Amino acid sequence: MADDIDIQQHIKDLIATEHELRDRLTKGEVSKDEEHAELKSVEIELDRCWDLLRQRRALREYGENPSDATLRGEGTVENYLG
């Protein structure tokens, strides 16, 4: 992901995927277990993208290069305690 616009577009795409999965569940095209597994994957990717976007904004705010932000792993993002 090259810049904020790309990250924001990826976030929008992931949100659309969430909506599509829920719609497919409602239509009976996927089972609850399949929907849950796919949603979990999408939600983790969303968390990672939001984290990257926040990192880039913080770096920019403090006069640093936003390109120095890194896409952190699931364990880091999902287990962050504050």
How does pLDDT run across 16-40, given as a tens digit for each residue?
Answer: 999 999 999 999 999 999 999 999 9
Residue 80 in this model has a pLDDT that exceeds 90: no
Q: Give how many domains the chain has, as a whole number.
A: 1
Amino acid, single-letter form, for residue 19? H
So what's the pLDDT on residue 78?
87
Triad 60, 3, 56: Cα angle to 5°: 30
**Structural domain boundaries, residue 72:** 4-78
Residue 1 in this model has a pLDDT that exceeds 60: no
So what's the pLDDT on residue 82?
58
Which tens digit of pLDDT belongs to each residue from 36-68? 999 999 999 999 999 999 999 999 999 999 999
Residue 50: Cβ-neighbour burial (10 angstroms; 0-12, 13-18, 19+): middle
